[in-house]
Amino acid sequence: MTGTRDTSAQFILADAMLANAQSMEETGFFQPALDYLQQAETIYRAGDNIAFTSCMLSRANILLQMGRIAEAETVYKAHGKALLAYFGKPEANNESIDYIEEYIDSASQLGRILLQRSDLTTAIEIFSGVRQEYAQLRESYPLHAGYCRAYSHSVELLGDVRLKARQLNGAFENYQEAYNLVTEMLRSGTPMAELHFDFARISWKIGCWYRENNQFEEALQYLKQGVRYLGRHADLFEAVPEVSKEHANILIDTAEVYALLDRRRAAQHCFTLANRIFSNLFIDFPLNSWYKELFTIALHKTGRFYAAGGLYQQAEQLYTDCIRMRRELMSDYPAVLQFRTGLAVAAQSMGDLLLARQETDAAWEQYTLMQETAQQLLQDHAALPQLQHLAGIADARLAQVKIEQGDFEEAGKYLLQCLQVRRQLNAGYPHDAQYSDDLAIVYQDLAEVYLQMGELRTSMYYQLRYHRLACRLAAQYPQHSGYQQSVIESSRMLSGLYQVEEQPARASHFENLLRAVVPSGAEVLLLLTSMYRSLYELFTRWGDKERQLRAGIQFYQFCKEISVEQAMEINKWNELALTAELLVTQCYQLKKMTEAAIMYAEANQMLEKLIDYFPDDDSYRKRLDSLSVYRQSQLSS
């Protein structure tokens, strides 16, 4: 059965309503668009199947953009059922070919909803199903270039969701398959201009995959290929704003990779080109709110680039423009969720900039704006994990301000609020590595805050949880070097904390783990030395002389071990001698006679070396004599 169109006045009215709805949607007036679609859908139900289902799909798409996720999901599911009811299973009914893409588009959007809800397992199942539908169409109609192209796109979409799920190998396989399919179609002379666009887009995504894996040179190769290809075939896409948009997006990502490679001039050039494209789109299509949104995103990313390079004044101006434009979008289109979340993200970046300049009060204002915006959004969309995530970031940023101000107790309160949010997200979405990342970070921050407050046991409690989560993530995602670095950092700290708590067995366990993870023995020594020095300074501030001494002795021992391995320069001997002399004094003050004897022998050895090496400098002999007299006085008393 194919749908038929009634030419009666009633259906002419419905056509007009549908056209008005499409116009309203393009300009961001979503609620009026929904009203028109609902009225047109009611009329079309009488018999015009094609328009009836199209109205449903458009309505679901708008609900999704408004952040009304549950309603959108319901409509997508109803849309799929309606298509199947009218046209039968796609693979079983040749007459349904015209409706396959609408059916699969609906399934794809449903998959995107699941992505927003971080239900990655179900999303992968749905996108895999979409891929299978297109695979069957491609097999049934091998000469149909549209279905071949659609199949490659479905494979690409599956790669997107696998990348989100940190299934990096699977994502790369999907991207590579899509890349090969499009390349093959181009080489065979398939007469579709869109294939050139597809090739550039897939090159872009492979580049992003390499960036995710910290392979920046490889990333740059594919990103530049995408940029060049769109430029080379620009005549095919003249006056096609969608292509201009993607061209600018690829330029933005290329700029960010250049920045990671510290090629800042090339990065700035790409940012400038991208901003020019987005600015022109905004000027050429003033009624399309999404081009204004994209322009603000480009300004925001350019601002981050300037901030990272220490160009704070330029970054601040871009952030100011971005926040102003975000407020305008929110005012004009209050129903659009992305415009509202964009304000929170822009406020976060402005706060980060101000905090980097030590303007803590001004940073606090921006983070408060971020928190208030996130909380307002949660009142309307409590079920959206990305909004809970945003609220958690706001709490963490407010905590950072308090840390900079030295108010660790208040910082701890905000971090505990953040912890509550992140635990809920991690428990609700265990397959989303982003939420596991966030939970690990707040554990680490809490460990540091409680350490600064002098609550060592509480600090160790959170440090252990940080360590366990880091180990799990490192095992689950071995390609991600950041997780291994977290294991190194947590093992280092736990080794030191257990040592100063006089639990040598546990300290040795974490030190051995550190040595197993870090390939270079010299690097391990440097890591442990710097850690014990930090602990020594911390316990000195606390006035905790017992722990200060334990940390100091460990610091000395690792310094000496480094000196043996690296054939220490003569000027380092004096530093070691001074450290040993100080520790001798501290040992006697605490009546640690055994430790005092050990450290005296160490100081004596270092000073004897200096005396032999500098026979004309009597200062070392005087220090040795003074230390000997002090020791005798302590022993006699």
Averaged confidence pLDDT in the chain = 87
- Closest alpha carbon to 497 in 468, 526, 454, 439: 454
Separation of alpha carbons 282 and 274, rounded Å:
12
- Of the given ranges (43-52, 69-78, 387-396, 597-606), which has the lowest mean pLDDT? 43-52
- Which residues constitute the domain of residue 585? 573-637
Counting Cβ atoms within 10 Å, is residue 371 exposed (0-12), middle (13-18) or buried (19+)?
A: buried
Does residue 451 lie in a domain region? no
Does residue 266 lie in a domain region? no
pLDDT value at residue 236:
56
pLDDT value at residue 88:
54
- pLDDT surpassing 90 at residue 439: yes
Does residue 608 lie in a domain region? yes
Does residue 606 lie in a domain region? yes
Amino acid sitting at position 341:
T
What's the rounded mean pLDDT across residues 25-37? 81
Task: Spell out the residues 6+ positions from residue 559 whose beta carbon is closer than 8 angstroms to its own.
Answer: 529, 575, 576, 579
Domain count, the chain: 1
- Closest alpha carbon to 323 in 302, 345, 298: 345
Does residue 587 lie in a domain region? yes
Per-residue confidence at 237, pLDDT binned at 50, 70, 90? low
In degrees rounded to 5, what are phi and psi of residue 182? Answer: -65, -40
What's the rounded mean pLDDT across residues 223-239? 75
Separation of alpha carbons 545 and 535, rounded Å:
12
Does residue 631 lie in a domain region? yes
Does residue 424 lie in a domain region? no
**Highest mean pLDDT pick, 52-61, 230-239, 290-299, 319-328:** 319-328
pLDDT value at residue 235:
61
Helices (H), 165-288: 168-187, 194-212, 216-232, 241-260, 264-284
- Closest alpha carbon to 148 in 160, 138, 157: 138
**Highest mean pLDDT pick, 128-137, 146-155, 191-200, 550-559:** 550-559
Amino acid sitting at position 473:
L
Separation of alpha carbons 333 and 397, rounded Å:
28
Separation of alpha carbons 549 and 557, rounded Å:
12
- pLDDT surpassing 80 at residue 421: yes
Q: Mind listing the pLDDT tens digit for each residue in 71-105?
A: 888 888 888 788 767 665 545 445 455 566 677 77
Does residue 157 lie in a domain region? no
